[in-house]
Structure 1
Amino acid sequence: MKLEAVIPFLGKYRPFVGRCCQTCTPKSWESLFHRSIMDLGFCNVILVKEENTRFRGWLVRRLCYFLWSMEQHIPPCQDDSQKILESFGVQSVISERAGGSELTSSMKKEVQHILGHIQAPCYSFLLRIFSWLMLRFLNCLFLNVQLHKGQMKMVHKAMQAGSPLVLLCTHKSLLDGILLPFVLFSQGLGVLRVAWDPRICSPTLRSLLRKLGGIFLPIETLSLDSSEGVLTRAVVHAVVEQLLVSGQPLLIFLEEPPGVQGPRMSALGQAWLGLVIQAVQLGIIPDAMLVPVATTYDMVPDAPSDEYRALAPLGLWTGALAILRSLRGWGGSHRACVRVHLAQPFSLQEYTSNARSCWGSRQTLEQLLQPIVLGQCTAVPDTEKEQEWISVTGPFLALKEEDQLLVRRLSHHVLNASVASAAVMSTTIMATLLLFKHPKLLGEFSWLTEETLLRGFDVGFSGQLRYLVQHTLSLLRAQVTLLRIHQGDLLVVPRPGPGRTHLARLSAELLPAFLSEAVGACAVRGLLAGRVPPEGPWELQGIELLSQNELYRQILLLLHLLPQDLLLLQPCQSSYCYCQEVLDRLIQCGLLIAEESQALWSSCSSF
């Protein structure tokens, strides 16, 4: 039998993304995988027709959205306030404050007051009306909302195991908090509890979101050592424990909201994840299934074309005006697409046990770098991200140092899986080509798409190339200028100022696919900078021989210099393994050629 090598290309072959880590969770990697995942294809979540209801007829075709919303199954919502009040942690704090006396009515009111700021009972009729409005709103705003059926099969399989689902998501838009609950609610996962950031919502909007399933963490009291802060922490622990025991799925954002300057990882999201880990460690629940989630947009609806607005609390009327503005600006034939990505679920208990068994003797960054500073050692140590041992403040005050390390490693691990499973959209590829001045957009668009697929990243589009490029340019019409030239050719020029800034923000979504090559190219340039005279032209004269040890050292220095929120390296992966991966990528793309010198030392040649 003759075998023919086929290169993946647009519209025919797509790489499979979303498998969990085989090193940290081998049992989940084998048992929670759907064998026929690639044969199931995609579905448009917001495409609801007459066939999606039990009824048929002329009137049903016009009321299918409303009938579909009324037929969705909503599990009965139980009031757990009494169970939370009777929980061991809350009773212990109250008994300490009351001196061992019985529970008074004032203490009950205080606990109820704290509980009212965290969550509220869900109303079935309000959820159905909200689902109907969301269905109409999303159909007006987006062309489609795509979801892979095979990924949904894996989540349903994990849900059948009996453990509660904890979905850990990226945060690309403020719309994520209502889009993801609607998508998963329509797929039969029930009412999704969303851990919202209280800083981005006004009190009125928080009250509405709590009735729709939102929960809020009062971080202003968790960081205090007063008696009120201790009682609030006990109530929050009891809320999370009751939520997990009841089996309700929980959605946590591991990234900061869009527009926030600073680190990428959210301290608030890690605090929620720490509460889940503590519930498993204390035996409240035997296990929890973690699902990395990512949402990608052609164009983010709440992102202005010039720059992100200052992060101010979003009010109810402000949100309504933003929706109307989005419908007016995004309506018509040029609507964007959305992809929701659900990576393979894995067991939190399995990850925790494997992660702790791999921890050996550790040193702080100060202990590792002190011999180099004093001149006692010249080799750069493999710190393996020991910067994570730096003390933190805020919601982590209630966690032990070892638990903090576990939360941070798990957060980086899950966020790495979410980013790796997120598809690259057509606007991202087009923005990259426009910024780097590629003249032939049709050919270069196809080339960059193939390069993205070859690096194991999926793309969120398909179709004929010419119509796909036309659709992408129509979405970017506010950031580019179209000029018709002779023979029917079209010249695309990025608009200066805010338009170019927005294109740069879009092109940044392509960085994870080419991050290894970027780190390797910076390392090679750093080594060659010492060999080229400062006043001379930056051109290589022939072939330069670079030692593999020198490249390793330079890449390690870059890894220690670059922020960990940008690299998002897996904690189970050694830095030297990543260095070898960087060299392999550079050799694969033709920037380096591996040679073996006469002294049997491995070396690389650079062009």
Structure 2
Amino acid sequence: MHLSSLAAHYGDLVLKMNFKIVSASLVGNMTDMNGPGVTLQPKRPALSWGVKIRRKLTSVAPFLGKFRPLVGQCCHQCTPESLGRKLLRNAPSLGFQNLLCVNETQTRYRGWLVRRVCCVLFICSRKVHISPAGDRRRRICSTDRVKQVLKSHGEMKGCEEDARVILSLTEISQSSSLIRLVGWLLLKFFSLVFCSVQVNLNHMAALHRAAQLNVPLVYVYVHQSAVDQALISLTLLSHNLRVPYSIYPARVHSTWMRVILQNLGTIFLPDHAATEQEAEAHSLYSPIMTSLVGELLTAGESLSVGMCEESGGGGQWLARIRQAVLDGLVPDVSLVPVGISYDCPPSQSTQPQLCVLSVLRFVLRSLWSADERGGVRIHFSQAFSLKEMCESGKCRVDGRRLLQELLLPAALHNRTDTIFGQKDVSWLLPPSFLPELSQSERQMTIALTLHLMHSVTHSMAVMSTGIVSCLLLHKHRRGVRVGVLCREVCWLLEEVLFRRTDVGFGGSLLNVVYHALSVLHPHLLLAAVPPTGEPLVAARPDPLTLLTLSRHSALLTRIFITEAVGACAVSAMLCEVAGCGGGGGEMEFDVALGQEELTDKSLQLTHLLPVGFIPPCQTAHSFALDAVDSMVRCGILIMEELPRETPVCDFWKRQGVLSWSATDDPNCSSDSECEEADPRSYRLSQPSQCPKLLFFLCSLLSVQLRALCWALECLNLMPFPITESECVIQLHSHLRNKAQLERVHHESSSVQLAGLALRTLMDLGVLMKAEQSEDVCVKISPLFLQPENINRLHQFVSQFLY
């Protein structure tokens, strides 16, 4: 189904909606966008104007109820046996559950008093699986790994104190009373912060089946906010599943906070380390933590591991889990990717002090404007076997090449013979992390990290705020009428579901758009357009708004990444062949685009993508071919038909291709020789002008590409050599200055994009590490001290910007 035909499918339906400005506001119950059966009662209108609808959409969109995709299945290529267990089954009758909606029906009692204490009764009735910790510290110290490292450091001055501090981190346990108390507090807290927390009951049923396999469960998620782990633990507690021990990558100085976290089963950093890199650099930390993970898995405990997309943090804990399986402490481990989607995430910081302040500010803002509270959708993907994943041999990262070997010849010398290969991502688990690991195990851990990062992001649900933010930022930047916005929401919604990605809302189109606009209201400009008075919605041009909209729509970029890469490749070819600079003007674009050239452009852009965007089981060249094919499926390109004087079948018949052979002569002609010798070529489906869909898809990747171009421009302004953290600060400052100077594209000035730009520049060999006293610094490589090489690389990257 073409993208262009989907908008027309819902065009007549949405155009029947007649919006008119009146003095009254929308009143009445609104269906909650994050799940069925929950109502929202607005205390005050989220918009400063009222809208009266003469004809409402009273029916639920059919694809939301009947064609909801089954998400969360494990990889059929790497883990076919785990997929064959069918732990995750499509049972539409189970539906969804709002964790915050606790009433007397979920308790064993009924009555007036029960309705007021039903939350307490519900938490007290939950089953908490607690294993006796015993003398866990003594058992860890008695392992050969820890005894050897303690013996080698026994005579060194100051090691006794370091060993005592690090060993104190292993004195963790779980208190059933404290877990219930914190669970009750979390229910009350999340009721203030979110309007609902929805979970898929199909996924919870699959988790119960996985728990019956008698192997430890390890939950893996991607860091998004300060409450990720709390949401996972509360969900598992509410469904009588084992609450996991969690890794919290931050220091905790408060004594009472340390005691509480340790009794909740939290592993945090030692006092001497501010980051995970500093902690892993200590020779005592790694073996002690490896033994602790093995001890927890031996006791049958579950673990929760958070991963960072920018730095790849968290992979070392997967290596420790893998080491426990290799040591025979447990026969196997089941990995469960967890995708958490927010309408409005409360905080992105991982530091305890910043987390508390950010969350408190978010709570106060939620209390002040209750209608702007967003929802949460949690997806627990199907559990798969770690042993099967590692032993299948399908998920591998060995034999990869450095990014500078793949792209620099094409960028500096216009050579395309070197772009074929896979990009090396060994920085995900540097040698300073777990130095005792062998090279093969290190490569296996990196492959596992890539696979889990992609699985987590692929299982996330798209929220209504993400769809509206994507449309306002990438398609209707100057504003859009509400009627057109509803039509575009329907189009984009079906495209998301068509790609087997679930959405985190339900209800009528009216409620979906209203809820999204209510949550995004502080970042929107609203006006009435004469003569009809139809509302016009536009994003505020300030940096905070554009950064927020970009963060909301980031998941849409991952969903449409194949089409976005293909569109940027087409745009680059148009700029190169036709000499157009984009913009969708009334120009002639009736040019032929060769398949080989389009594939090369797509492959070059694929190498520039951050980790986690392309499936880990797919090669970069195969992904580039799919990107070109996606342009045909979208209707942007059409394959050019070459005219022939003689029909193909007659030509083959004269050549003897279609004649039967009586023998099995290996030298005889085969069907593979019947392929066309001429390479394929494509033309735009609308040669009179560039289609708007092409620029929408190009805009999805322009946020990251523009940040990389701006980073290249500021290299000559930075005082090298400097540390990596200082380099990120300098890049971030330049990105903000560049956006303020041009007064546009503030979405490309986030600190996350500055970190991604630094990683890409280091992979390209533009920046290289240099030893400066005790710190590891970065400096410009000798090749790029020449300004012309920087300019060539800048032109190479900027060709993909439309």
**Common fold: TM-score over 0.5:** yes
The equivalent of 1:555 in structure 2 is: 602
Deviation at 1:292, TM superposition (A): 0.8
Which amino acid is 1:209 matched to?
A: L
The equivalent of 1:471 in structure 2 is: 515
The 1:489/1:349 distance shift into structure 2, 3 A limit, reads same
For 2:285 and 2:250, the matched residues in 1 are separated by 15
For residues 131-154 of structure 1, what are the alpha-carbon distances to aligned partners after superposition, in whole Å with 9 as ceiling and x for unaligned? 111111222322221111111122
The equivalent of 1:493 in structure 2 is: 538
Which amino acid is 1:276 matched to?
A: I
116-125 or 61-70: bigger deviation:
116-125
1:57-96 map, 5 Å = 57-79=111-133, 80-96=136-152
Secondary structure of the 1:63 match is: helix
The equivalent of 1:40 in structure 2 is: 94
For 1:225 and 1:34, the matched residues in 2 are separated by 38
Which amino acid is 2:679 matched to?
A: W
The equivalent of 1:49 in structure 2 is: 103
Match of 1:516 among 546, 559, 562: 562
Structure number with greater CO (CA < 8 Å, separation at least 6) is: 1
**Conservation of the 8 A alpha-carbon contact between 1:204 and 1:315:** no
The 1:495/1:111 distance shift into structure 2, 3 A limit, reads same
For 2:247 and 2:602, the matched residues in 1 are separated by 38
The equivalent of 2:577 in structure 1 is: 531
**Conservation of the 8 A alpha-carbon contact between 2:269 and 2:279:** no
1:504 pairs with 2:550: yes
1:575 pairs with 2:629: no
For residues 338-389 of structure 1, what are the alpha-carbon distances to aligned partners after superposition, in whole Å with 9 as ceiling and x for unaligned? 1001111111000101137967766666777899899998523422223437
1:248 pairs with 2:305: no
Deviation at 1:588, TM superposition (A): 1.1
The percent of aligned pairs where both chains have the same amino acid is 34
Secondary structure of the 1:278 match is: helix
The equivalent of 1:427 in structure 2 is: 465
For 1:408 and 1:201, the matched residues in 2 are separated by 32
Structure exhibiting the larger radius of gyration computed from Cα positions: 2
Secondary structure of the 2:592 match is: strand
**Conservation of the 8 A alpha-carbon contact between 2:571 and 2:582:** no
The equivalent of 1:103 in structure 2 is: none
Which amino acid is 2:260 matched to?
A: L
The equivalent of 1:276 in structure 2 is: 321
For 2:599 and 2:203, the matched residues in 1 are separated by 37
5+ long unaligned stretches in structure 1: 1-5, 100-105, 257-263, 304-309
Secondary structure of the 1:230 match is: coil
Deviation at 1:479, TM superposition (A): 0.8
**Conservation of the 8 A alpha-carbon contact between 1:10 and 1:446:** no
5+ long unaligned stretches in structure 2: 1-8, 11-61, 644-676, 688-802
Deviation at 1:98, TM superposition (A): 5.2
1:601 pairs with 2:679: yes
The equivalent of 1:3 in structure 2 is: none
For 2:169 and 2:250, the matched residues in 1 are separated by 10
The equivalent of 1:348 in structure 2 is: 386
For residues 544-589 of structure 1, what are the alpha-carbon distances to aligned partners after superposition, in whole Å with 9 as ceiling and x for unaligned? 2122111111111112233335x2x223212222122212221111
**Conservation of the 8 A alpha-carbon contact between 2:401 and 2:423:** no
Secondary structure of the 2:340 match is: strand
**Conservation of the 8 A alpha-carbon contact between 1:196 and 1:216:** yes
The 1:359/1:451 distance shift into structure 2, 3 A limit, reads closer
Match of 1:121 among 173, 188, 211: 173
Match of 1:480 among 519, 524, 530: 524
For 2:632 and 2:472, the matched residues in 1 are separated by 27
Deviation at 1:296, TM superposition (A): 0.5
For residues 228-279 of structure 1, what are the alpha-carbon distances to aligned partners after superposition, in whole Å with 9 as ceiling and x for unaligned? 93333222111100111112111111125xxxxxxx2432x11111111111
For 2:627 and 2:150, the matched residues in 1 are separated by 56
For residues 370-425 of structure 1, what are the alpha-carbon distances to aligned partners after superposition, in whole Å with 9 as ceiling and x for unaligned? 99899998523422223437982542434333222222221111111111111110
For 1:290 and 1:572, the matched residues in 2 are separated by 17
**Conservation of the 8 A alpha-carbon contact between 1:201 and 1:315:** no
1:302 pairs with 2:344: no
The equivalent of 1:447 in structure 2 is: 491
The 1:27/1:217 distance shift into structure 2, 3 A limit, reads farther
The 1:517/1:121 distance shift into structure 2, 3 A limit, reads same
The 1:292/1:552 distance shift into structure 2, 3 A limit, reads same
**Conservation of the 8 A alpha-carbon contact between 1:164 and 1:288:** yes
Secondary structure of the 1:544 match is: coil
For 2:579 and 2:635, the matched residues in 1 are separated by 25
Match of 1:287 among 312, 332, 338: 332
The equivalent of 1:386 in structure 2 is: 424
Deviation at 1:77, TM superposition (A): 3.9
**Conservation of the 8 A alpha-carbon contact between 1:14 and 1:453:** yes
**Conservation of the 8 A alpha-carbon contact between 1:118 and 1:217:** no
For residues 32-66 of structure 1, what are the alpha-carbon distances to aligned partners after superposition, in whole Å with 9 as ceiling and x for unaligned? 43334444211112221112122222211111111
Deviation at 1:542, TM superposition (A): 4.9
Match of 2:212 among 156, 160, 163: 160
The equivalent of 2:720 in structure 1 is: none
For 1:39 and 1:500, the matched residues in 2 are separated by 40
For 1:543 and 1:18, the matched residues in 2 are separated by 43
Match of 2:289 among 233, 236, 240: 236
382-391 or 16-25: bigger deviation:
382-391
**Conservation of the 8 A alpha-carbon contact between 1:424 and 1:460:** yes
For 1:555 and 1:70, the matched residues in 2 are separated by 56
The 1:370/1:402 distance shift into structure 2, 3 A limit, reads farther
Which amino acid is 1:277 matched to?
A: R
The 1:206/1:575 distance shift into structure 2, 3 A limit, reads same
Secondary structure of the 2:506 match is: coil
14-23 or 108-117: bigger deviation:
108-117
81-90 or 352-361: bigger deviation:
352-361
Deviation at 1:592, TM superposition (A): 0.9
Secondary structure of the 1:60 match is: helix
For 1:278 and 1:64, the matched residues in 2 are separated by 44
Secondary structure of the 1:46 match is: coil
Secondary structure of the 2:588 match is: coil
Secondary structure of the 2:223 match is: coil
For 2:582 and 2:505, the matched residues in 1 are separated by 45
**Conservation of the 8 A alpha-carbon contact between 2:496 and 2:502:** yes
